[in-house]
Amino acid sequence: MAHVSDFLKPSDLQRISNLQVLARQVVEGFTSGLHRSPHKGYSVEFKQHRQYVPGDEIRRLDWRVFARSDRYYIREYEEETNLRSTLILDRSGSMNYAGTSAGGVTKYEYATKLAACLAYMMVHQADGVGLTTFDTQIRRHIPPRSRVSHLRVILDELEKGQPGGETDLGDVFHDLEAKLHRRGLLIIISDCFGEVANFIKALAHFRHARHEILVFQIWDRDELEFPFKSWTQFDCLEQEGVKHLLDPVMLRQAYLENLANFRDSLTRGCRRHNIDLVPFCTDEPYANGLAAYMTRRLGRR
Amino acid sequence: MNFLNIAMLGGVLAGSIPLIIHLFHKSRFKVVKWGAMHLLTAVLRTNQKRIKIEQWILLAIRCAIPILLALMMARPMWQGAASLLGNRPTSTAVLLDNSYSMEAGRAGTSNFSLARDETQRLVGELKRGSEAYVFLMGEGTGLLDESTRDISRVTQALDKVGSGYGVARVPAALEFVAGTLGKMTEGTRQVVMLTDFQRLSFPASEDKAFGQAVDNLKKLPVPPTLTLWDVGVEVKENVAVDSLDFSKLMVGVGQKVQIRANIRNYGETARNDFRVKLKVDGRDKATSQVLLGAKAQSQVLFTHVFDTAGSHVVEIETEDDAVKADNSYLASIAVRDKLPVLLVDGAPGATPDDLKSETGFAQIALSPFAAGKVEQADLIQATVVTAEALTARQITDSAVVVLANVAKLGDAQLQALELFVQQGGGLLVFSGDRTDAAWWNGAFGKLAPLPLGSMAGDLKEGAPSMSLTSQRFENPALEIFNDPQNGTLSDVAIKAWYRLKPSERSGGPEDPVVLARLDSGDPFLVEKPCGEGHVIACATTLDAEWSNLPARPSYLPLIQRLCVYLASNIYPRRNLQVGEQLVGFLPVASAGKTAVLTLPDTSTLEVPVVKKGERGVVEFPQTRRPGLYTLLPAGGTPIHYVVNAERSESNLAKLSTAEITTLAKTHGLQLVRNAAEFKALDKVQRYGHELWKWALLLLLLLLFGELILQQKFARGKGKS
């Protein structure tokens, strides 16, 4: 049975606890600031009085106010909403890349740690967290729960999975949408490789269902800088048998331009749908990236 | 293409190193399991073709760099089509200017000695087995008769070559060399002309001929390379004895002879008190001083009396200057103590000295001292023979033959007479009552100056007579009558004469000239050149039968002058121009023996005496060197010949540098000015141009090009 310490080192946990305060505020931003819960009901936390209008439940009348003022007021309470967030983890072959500068850490490993960290934080602030893993199709879907024991389920799943196969985010997200009954926060942890238009379209779909979306894009330094010098054979991680032997020096510039185009169109697509696209690079500690993002996010509020 | 360091050519193999490196890299590739394949594939799809081409270009450049480096170190030479003959023997023709202008130069060394040394070195440095031929332009002949592979023979012969010859005829020299080159056998040929570029040798008028000669050389089956070598320095100061004039008439012992020298200053500084010396037979006789302005001409007059008969040499000598050859001018003068005149009498009297005979008056007029029994000696020795007794030997032994009223001569006699006149003898013909007009106009026609027409005048007592027209006489024989003090011909009364039919042709050198006319307009004295000799015909008689001429005071000078004039024609000529054949007539007795000929350089030569007709004849055609030639027959007295070169050579003016360059450019010739330049040119011609500088440049270009291209290619177009 997996434990948090399998994914997060004590030093990481230390840093996460520091993040906790930040995270709390961020999540509040999601829950109360930006997306106020539409469900109003009974709760301990009083919110406001409002005049009775015909059709209101009579049982919600505040008789004490009526006694004092002879007027009908309805007493309203804030719902104690739990944030329902779902971690959507890409388990496709391309996530299995481990560059030289990352010290042998694959993008997938990095992504699982990031997911574990997020799940840990969510559960510890009593928010519901779920996990969905996918490659060409959805491999596992764990609906969000806020119990502490639920964290273990998620960690187990993170530990079990191994990446492989191709990615087609568009189709997968379409399937996923049906499984998410209630709207909430979707955190997509992926390299987002594939057709940009499809991907954006799928995200738009989520947005349409009024989900809040965060995309944590995982990069390896090699993918960003293409630092290869000598003749290299590039074997495709997703498709067996696809390989190219080439002199990377000759291609570097064209590659980088292509990369910039790719990132640009992705960024523009996300911005269009009010989606935060947060790049992570496997040679940087994810806590740093996370902290930086959260700070930025808070600043924006 | 040739390589000086052929071993380095092996380095070309280094050209495969980049290829090997390329293949090595390609085979030792890394394998990367790559995730972002969709990014790479798009790039590959659009750039693969371009990258492949770029890789090939870069690989080609990288391979070219070591190849070029190796080529450069092998020192390539470009020879054009001249093939790989660098070290092979050549056929070399050198045109060496030894005209006397080449004597000028810096103090101590003449331009000629410089040119000769260079020629010696040039020939000496020819590759083994080369053929060489040296043509001496001043002499107009080859140093050796033909080209030779024995180079030492050429260099030894060059040691003995001197300058001081006449004008260099460049086109002719080139034509000659073209002929010789045609007979040479080596595949690589060169013609080198060493000259001082004297303006005289390259006149504008000969430019066409020069071009033609150069073209002929270039049209040879194996065309030679042509190099002009401008030798030595230009010297401007030069004074030359331009020419020498002396009396055209025969010189007798004791007679005063006027010798006039023309001195010309070619320089730009005036010469005051310029000393001019007269030398006779090598001994100083007189000195005179003249004033010579810059580029001016002056005359010096000397008179001299020869006291011995025979051949004498007169020399005018001036002060020393840059060019020695033109500081003196020689002339050979034959001085006679006797002039044998043969009088052929057509109407002899009872005794030889009978005044009634046809030649009686003439004999007295020619030898007055002998006739007057005076002890003084006559210059002219007159002998009288009858026409019938005339022999060929008598004709040959005399200087002038006078035919007086001779009806006709036998064929043998006429033949001997014709030969005599052809070889320079003088013939004086007087008509008379016995003259056979048919013979005159027939067999004698070749010698007769004009055909004989009808007789005119009347011999009757009291009949009117005809006199001679007063005129100015141009002929040296009649010149003295231009001065009335010497007597006049106009008081001569002529009663009868033959009409000499005027010739239709006149003015040419071979045409008859009327020396004197009668008042009627008929010719009185007519002269015609005939071979080397002259014939003068008179329309009337030699005696007093048809005129009163013998009774006039002018008779004696007239007859004597006519004979001296006809005898003045010294033949064979002794003052020759360069290249003319030297001929000597010796007594027939010396035929079959040899005579000694001393040449201007004091070397001697034995020449054979050949019998021709009634004479012994010596012939020497090689009079290329100007100067004094002395012919000494066995047991005889020396005969002097003087060969003179054209004095225009004294004008040392040189073509300007620009003109020389233009000349070379116009005709496509190489031009060098010193040995170093020639060596450099020769190296280029022999081995070609060294190309390593160009190779280095190309190498650097390739190196930079490779860098730039690599940068550019790596940057790529980036369209994906």
pLDDT < 70 positions in chain A: 1-2, 4, 12-47, 77-82, 126, 167-168, 300-301
Q: List all residues 6 or more positions away from A6 whose beta carbon is below 8 Å from its beta carbon.
A: A155, A159
Q: Is residue B327 part of a domain?
A: yes
pLDDT of B536 reads 93
Torsion of CA B553, B557, B563, B566, to 10 degrees: -130
pLDDT tens across B437-496, in order? 899 998 898 888 889 888 888 888 888 888 988 888 888 888 888 888 888 888 889 999
* A249 reaches B (C-beta below 8 A): yes
Residue B455 lies in a domain: yes
In this prediction, residue A17 carries a pLDDT of 65
Q: In this complex, do A254 and B25 lie within 8 Å of one another by their Cβ atoms? A: no
Residue-wise pLDDT tens digits, B366-376 = 888 888 887 77
Indicate whether B22 pLDDT > 50. yes
For an interface test with B, which of A255, A259, A261 has the most B Cβ atoms less than 10 Å from its Cβ?
Answer: A255
- Answer whether residue B3 shows pLDDT above 80: no
Tens digit of each residue's pLDDT (9 = 90 or more) over B464-475:
888 988 888 888
Q: Is B427 within the bounds of a domain?
A: yes
Q: Which residues pair with A3 in a beta bridge?
A: none
Based on the fold, state whether residues B482 and B357 are members of the same structural domain: yes
Supply the pLDDT for residue A210: 81
Regarding whether B423 and B396 lie in a shared domain, the answer is yes
The 3-class secondary structure across B215-260, one letter per residue, is: HHHHCCCCCCEEEEEECCCCCCCCEEEEEEEECCCCEECCCEEEEE
Helix (H) or strand (E) holding A293: helix A286-300
pLDDT for residue B82 is more than 60: no
| Confidence class for position B352, pLDDT limits 50, 70, 90 | low
Do the chains contact at A234 and B40, CB–CB below 8 Å?
yes
- Counting residues of chain B whose pLDDT is more than 70, the rounded percentage is 96
Residue B109 has pLDDT above 50, yes or no: yes
Query: How many folded domains does chain B comprise?
Result: 5
At B640, the pLDDT band (50, 70, 90 cuts) reads very high
Q: List the CATH number of the domain containing B639.
A: 2.60.40.10
The secondary structure of B416-456 as a DSSP string is: HHHHHHHTT-EEEEE--TT--HHHHHTGGGGT-SS-EEEEE
Residue-wise pLDDT tens digits, B547-587: 998 988 889 889 988 998 888 877 778 888 888 888 888 88
Is residue B543 situated within a structural domain?
yes
Please tell me whether residues B396 and B507 are part of one structural domain: yes
Residue with more model confidence, B106 or B401: B401
Q: Which contiguous run of DSSP H or E holds residue B302? A: strand B297-305
Domain membership of residue B202 (yes or no) is yes
Residue B114 lies in a domain: yes
- Are B356 and B500 contained in the same domain? yes
Q: How confident is the model at residue B42 (pLDDT cuts 50, 70, 90)?
A: confident
**Residue A38 pLDDT:** 46
Residue B85 lies in a domain: no
* Residues B138, B220 share a domain: yes
Q: Cβ–Cβ contacts within 10 Å for residue A57, how many? A: 8
CB within 8 Å: B35 and A233: no
Q: Please name the amino acid found at residue A200.
A: I
**Residue A127 and residue A27 in contact, taking contact as beta carbons nearer than 8 Å:** yes
What pLDDT sits at residue B222?
83
Looking at residue B402, what is its pLDDT? 93
Both B253 and B136 in a single domain? no
Are B720 and A254 in contact (CB < 8 Å)? yes
Higher pLDDT, residue B300 or B5: B300
In this structure, the answer to whether residues B460 and B395 fall within a common structural domain is yes
**Chain B partners of A244 at a C-beta cutoff of 8 Å?**
40-41, 44
B627 conformational bin, left if phi > 0, alpha if psi -120 to 50, beta if neither: left
Q: Report the alpha-carbon distance of residue B509 to residue B44 in Å, rounded.
A: 102
- A260 contact B CB<8A: no
Q: Tell me which residue in B29, B36, B47 faces A231 most closely, judged by beta carbons.
A: B29
Q: pLDDT grade, residue B220 (50/70/90)?
A: confident
Per-residue model confidence (pLDDT) at position A15: 67
How many contacts (CB atoms, under 8 Å) link A and B?
Answer: 113
Which pLDDT value is given to residue A26? Answer: 60
Determine the distance in angstroms separating the CA of A220 from the nearest CA of chain B, rounded to an integer.
10
In the chain, the amino acid numbered A259 is: L
Q: Looking at the complex, does the CB of residue A53 fall below 8 Å from at least one CB of chain B? A: no
The average confidence (pLDDT) of chain B is 86
Q: Does B219 touch chain A (CB under 8 A)?
A: no
Q: Give the per-residue pLDDT at B81.
A: 46
> In angstroms, what CA-CA distances link A300 with A203, B102, B312?
22, 106, 136
Nearest-Cα residue of chain B relative to residue A193:
B36
B461 and B320 co-located in one domain = no
Locate tokens 């072959």: which residue?
Answer: A93
Residues B537 and B517 grouped into a single domain: yes
Contact between chains at A255 and B38 (C-beta distance less than 8 A): no
- pLDDT score of B278: 93
CA distances from A299 to A22, A216, A261, A272, B78 (A): 11, 19, 28, 20, 78
Residue B193 has pLDDT above 80, yes or no: yes
Question: Would B142 be classed as within a structural domain?
Answer: yes
Last residue of a domain, one of B331, B359, B387: B331
Domain boundaries, chain A: 4-34+81-300, 46-77
Asked if residue B660 and residue B599 are part of one domain, the reply reads no
Half-sphere exposure of B107 (CA within 13 A, CB side): 0
Closest CA to B585 of B599, B571, B575, B598: B571
CATH topology of domain A4-34+81-300: Rossmann fold (3.40.50)
Are residues B35 and A97, on separate chains, in Cβ contact within 8 Å? yes
Do the strands B604-608 and B594-598 form a parallel or antiparallel pair, or are they unpaired? antiparallel
- Asked if B711 is an interface residue toward chain A (Cβ–Cβ < 8 A), one would say no
Q: Nearest 5°: phi and psi at B275?
A: -90, 130
A chain contacts of residue B47, beta-carbon cutoff 8 Å: 250-251, 254
Residue of B nearest to A108 (CA): B35
- Judge if B556 and B509 occupy the same domain: yes
Encode pLDDT of B289-334 as tens digits: 988 888 899 999 999 988 888 889 999 999 888 888 888 899 998 8
Same domain, residue pair B512 and B421: yes
Q: Helices marked H in B150-218 — which ranges?
A: 151-160, 170-183, 207-218
Q: Is the pLDDT of residue B604 over 70?
A: yes
Q: Which residues are registered as beta bridge partners of B528?
A: B535
For residues A24 and A30, what is the distance between their CA atoms, to the nearest angstrom?
Answer: 10
Q: Which domain holds residue B321?
A: 239-331
